[in-house]
Structure 1
């Protein structure tokens, strides 16, 4: 096994464990609600702390990666992440829980930016797209974390001990992986806090990432509701839409690198956008179990390549360092992830849930259009014929 392959395995392990930490936290949210006797609105307020912390961490992440290097930030943020995860379980009051969840969100995004910067540096050594496989590992960890969480709940293991076991696992892998992380060299210009307007390249990539994350957020939060109220599926199969979407997205990320290397970023983005549109419209026009599930599978495959390609392209900005460029794209796309689910609910109340999903379908067309207009400016390193 070559050194490059060892580096890829080490970094992939950290991507997987980052996803495992997040999914482990999510799997025990109902237990947290019971422990603190939280109402639905109180739980919603608590959960808001994580995305707020994540959002505030983005400009800091770009600066920190530029200033100290992604290797140091990855190690520090990973250690912080696995310290604050069990602290959630050990919290005995809301006064402790709220700031812990907030910092957990911050350290999670510091880890996200630094690991993706590492992946871009490793991608340079490979000379081809490999970022999608790392995001696939993060998605795969979601299923693993849900399974471990269900097992812990079955054996009535408290969240704090569940979280401690996950943190211990991550610490061991980090100690083994540390020596294989890259001391990447800066490839961009600007490295300060992200306070200035992004250039045309990043705005266009950001637009694609925004639409992709808007659709992704809606699918995460509303798949079950759609299958329950519109598809009217058997109660035992309500999760089918979510599972089919998540499974297709995870699988799609593992194969996206090969497709991108073969056909080019532009064609893959166009195809992904069209696949998202067609999948959602199929589910809206024919809301029966087989066709709706097929539609959700199509959406999962469509969404799979959006963020990996957006990150890979942004990381090669000539005006910004990779860490800052990723922070800019993450900030723009994060707003899509936050706006999407409430937008679905608002339109569903005003019109119908089918109308909401119809609107989300047009995010796919938006992606296809943004990937097609002024491609020479948008992807200067890609041939338009691809």
Structure 2
């Protein structure tokens, strides 16, 4: 990490850089959660059925996937600072466009752009986080992701207030953009300017064969992210349904499992750095996978309200640290720039996030929802196995 540290301006201390990066993680989370909080409103306004909404929402991951090769390339040309500042402002503008969409076609186009800018922000802000972590003698990556999760609760709260006061999504999103612009204006002065360092490091790999060889160590990290993000994506999309159909929870409590999962996922990210510093990356990933698998097995074997709640709490704690730890390890790559390494690992991981929910539905259709959740438990076990065999 020496090259990263020396490239940072002397006037930018590690504390100011950490705060600046934390602010932008929070802004990115606020932007996404603001959209998520108004999906039901936009569905009702446009008169979309659940099936139609599901098809429309697929535009978001399409934009994310389209962005992956572009973000990996552009970050080596202009650096993560310029990419982050530009992408996060575009992210906010795309959020407003979602509030302006008048028909399904416009909404799909806006969602593709929203997803595209979202992933550019994700790669750039995690590259900045790697630079900040390089100035410390301990892991701090998970705390940044904890701020993203905290912003999710904040965005959901603001959305609830907006809905209660009958404020339309467009004006709601304008307020979010103003907050985002203020945060960007304050934080932009203290970010790490890595354009030259990234370009020089990437230039060291000249041949395609060499580049492919250098990607091999990242495959294990990507595979770990893949398994964990299958779990995460499935919990996002199926936890409420599990509580409704398997646990048979009352209507008012059907979202309790998802809330429990989100609480421990957010909280776990604020202690994951301490745990990783004390016990190491390998042990952290092993414990994370074990918690995920154990929590799911508890919810499957004992499908009752309180036991399922306890199981979902364990799952949230399990998945909380995997992606931050894997991103941190990828960003410390000694063979390629942090931006390119993060783009490669996030590509593999995000495929898991995309395929997880449909696979769960497929297994549930062939067997039962409990059987599909057993498949997620296997993914948790896979995290343990992969991290045990990996050279971390």
* TM-score of the two chains, using structure 1 as the length reference: 0.94
Change (3 A) 1:179 1:134: same
Equivalence for 1:24? 34
| Aligned mate of 2:172, from 162, 165, 174 | 162
Secondary structure of the structure 1 residue equivalent to 2:384: helix
Residue from 341, 344, 347 that aligns with 1:328: 344
Find the aligned partners of 1:320 and 1:54 in 2 and give their Cα distance.
Answer: 22
- Displacement of 1:146: 1.0
* 1:33 to 2:49 alignment: no
Match of 1:208 in 2: 224
Name 1:151's counterpart in structure 2: 161
Provide the rounded CA distance (Å) in 2 between the counterparts of 1:220 and 1:99. Answer: 24
Residues 290-329 of structure 1: matches in 2 within 5 Å?
A: 290-329=306-345
**Residue correspondence of structure 1 range 74-223 to structure 2 within 5 A:** 74-184=84-194, 185-186=197-198, 188-189=201-202, 197=212, 199-223=215-239
Q: Point out where structure 2 has 5 or more consecutive residues left out of the alignment.
A: 1-11
Give the distance between the partners of 2:151 and 2:85, measured in 1 at CA.
19
Cα shift readout 1:45-85 (whole Å, capped 9, x = no counterpart): 21111110011101111111111000000000011011111
Question: Of the candidates 295, 302, 316, which is equivalent to residue 286 of structure 1?
Answer: 302
Q: Which runs of 4+ in 1 moved over 3 A?
A: 187-192, 194-198
CA contact (8 A) 1:280 1:361 kept: yes
SS of match in other structure, 1:301:
helix
Q: CA deviation at 1:337?
A: 0.4
Superposed CA deviations along residues 14-36 of structure 1, whole A, max 9, x for unmatched, are: 10111111011011111111222
Cα pair 1:188 1:322 within 8 Å, conserved: no
Conserved? CA contact 2:37–2:155, under 8 Å: yes
Q: Is the 8 A contact 2:76 2:202 kept in 1?
A: no
* Partner Cα distance (1:95, 1:246) in 2: 32
Which secondary structure does the structure 2 equivalent of 1:69 belong to? Answer: helix
8 Å contact 1:209–1:310 — kept in the other structure?
A: yes
C-alpha displacement at 1:318, in angstroms? 2.5
Determine the C-alpha separation between the residues in 2 that align with 1:71 and 1:219.
33
Most deviating of 209-218 and 78-87: 78-87
1:188 positional shift: 4.2
Q: 1:98 Cα shift?
A: 1.8
In the TM superposition, what is the alpha-carbon distance from 1:153 to its structure 2 partner? 0.4
| 2:91 paired with 1:64 | no
Do residues 343 (structure 1) and 356 (structure 2) align? Answer: no
Q: CA deviation at 1:3?
A: 2.9
Whether 1:352 aligns to 2:335 is no
Deviates more, 1:154-163 or 1:56-65: 56-65
Instruction: Please report how far the alpha carbon of residue 11 of structure 1 lies from its aligned counterpart in structure 2 after TM superposition.
Output: 1.2
Write the mapping of 1:259-270 to structure 2, written as runs, cut at 5 A.
259-270=275-286
Partner of 2:7: none
In the comparison of the two structures, how many residue pairs are matched?
A: 374
Q: What RMSD in Å do the two structures reach over aligned CA positions?
A: 1.7
Specify the SS of the correspondent of 2:166. coil
Q: How far is the alpha carbon of 1:127 from its aligned partner?
A: 2.7
Which of the residues 38, 51, 64 maps onto 1:54?
A: 64
Counterpart selection for 1:249 from 248, 258, 265 = 265
Secondary structure of the 1:368 match is helix
